[in-house]
Amino acid sequence: MADSAVVQRWRVSGWKQVTLCVVLGALGALGHPPFDLWFLTVAAFVAVFGLALRCESNRDWAKTGFWFGFGYFAVALHWIVEPFLVDVARHGWMAPFALVMMAAGGAAFWAVAFGIAGWLRRGLGGVAALAVAMTATELLRAYVLTGFPWAMPSYVLVNQMAGQMAAFVGPHGVNFLLFLLAGGLAFGAVRRWRWIWGVAGAVMLALWVPVPAQLPEARKHADAAVVVRLVQPNALQHLKWHPDHVLKFFQRSLALTAQAAQEADAAVPDLVVWPETSVPWTLDNAENALLAAAGAARGAPVVLGLNRYEGERVFNTVAVVSPDGAVTDVYDKHHLVPFGEYIPLGDFLGRFGLRGLASRHGGGYSEGAGPALIDLGALGKALPLICYEAVFPQDTRVRGERPRVMLHMTNDAWFGNFSGPYQHLAQTRMRAIETGVPVLRAANTGVSAAIDAKGRVLAMLPLGEAGYLDVALPDLGPDTLYARWGDLPMGLFLVLLIVAGVAVRQRETD
């Protein structure tokens, strides 16, 4: 620990500590889109780790983590109010409560991390304890209660070469390295050990190296024989299901599918991809709609989103439609949004007569069987990700055959026009880095994009515009360590470190 004089000079408490931590957390969130000021995220963690290292009690450590997390998640997740503003009269009053609860929920994980680090600091040391505990709780945040790893700190490095390490250690491994760097800088400041600042400063400079843009010559090596059209109808959420507009949006998708390419020598697309729930009829009532989509595609298969009934259950589904309008494959979304697409424990409550909340009786969506590939015929197999599923690193791992491409079909109209859609895009890019598999993203209101196996955006349609994007299918990258092993190695590594830290602490206190 630092000398008592230094500690006393820099220590803050009470409302000053709360205010400082919230402000630091808010600044740290500016590393995420649309700001992309990743260095502020690193600086904020350095500062708050330095504050924590000067705390005496475990309770003060936990308070520091909570208020820092509250400021961070309040800014990073402020788009969460947007769904409640689609129908302001009915749901607008819920918006502030949703933001406070989401921010407090994320902050609770970080309070636990800081509290554990404060207790473990005698076993692992303050810096290592913080890095381990924060990485462990971020890993838990991706899984606990179905998980919600949105705004993971490692995502701020998606544009930097350091973010490419996710192919080896995954996003949680990148988290660990980021936290360790921040802790090293904080420790160097507290101890006044300049050599630590020198080492950590060199690492910071290395972080500044951006991912190089793909060279034009490299793009020519993409599978130019395979052209995919991404359709973006721009159906605004408050009008998407309105009786006076729903047919207009479907006809717009048909027109964009059938439209001749802008380049005179461009070929007819080999595949057409529509966004999530872009067909307003359920699968069992969509025969004419599927025939119309197939006809507009001029001989290319179409992958589109719609709902599907199975008895009383309803699924959020992706369907592959052949040139003759037949459905050749389907995939049902399996990672659903709690309270948005289903009510937790709804089926259990249905046993007691509360059937309106039960998925099995039509009260929300039912979950599909899990991650699965869909067959695109001659184009190979693709891994579909419906909206929210692209948030989860673990949802891109499928046993057996490796996908040729990931298809992210989403309706980001719920997320507003400022930060939500761009953060969703950044997380989708991270999925490409982790797996070495390119992503084609069809978003209802944007941002639709082609993403290569290193997470670089090769082409995109701006947010809030109707149109289409014809792209050459990006090359499949090498298979990655993270795609093979997932979070298991990092999870075991963290468990071993925590056990070792507990053992050392117990020995020192005996």
Amino acid at 47: A
Q: Which residue, chain included where needed, has tokens 């020995």?
A: 507
Q: Is 276 a catalytic residue?
A: yes
Contacts by 373-376, CB closer than 8 A, 24 or more apart: 373/398, 373/401, 373/403, 374/303, 374/318, 374/320, 374/329, 374/330, 374/331, 374/407, 375/320, 375/328, 375/329, 376/271, 376/301, 376/303, 376/320, 376/404
82, 138, 276, 434: the catalytic one is 276
235: β partners: none
55, 63, 82, 333: the catalytic one is 333
DSSP assignment string, 181-243: HHHHHHHHHHHT-HHHHHHHHHHHHHHTPBPPPPPHHHHHTSEEEEEEEEEE----HHHHT-T
The answer to whether 444 and 276 have CB atoms below 8 angstroms apart is yes
Q: Which strands sit side by side in the sheet containing 302-310, from one edge to the other? A: 327-332, 313-321, 302-310, 271-273, 223-232, 467-473
Q: Report the alpha-carbon angle 273-248-451, nearest 5.
A: 25
387, 389, 434, 454: the catalytic one is 387
Here the tokens at position 44 are 């904020």
Residue 383 φ/ψ, nearest 5 degrees: -100, 110
Q: Is 248 a catalytic residue?
A: no
Active site residues: 276, 333, 387
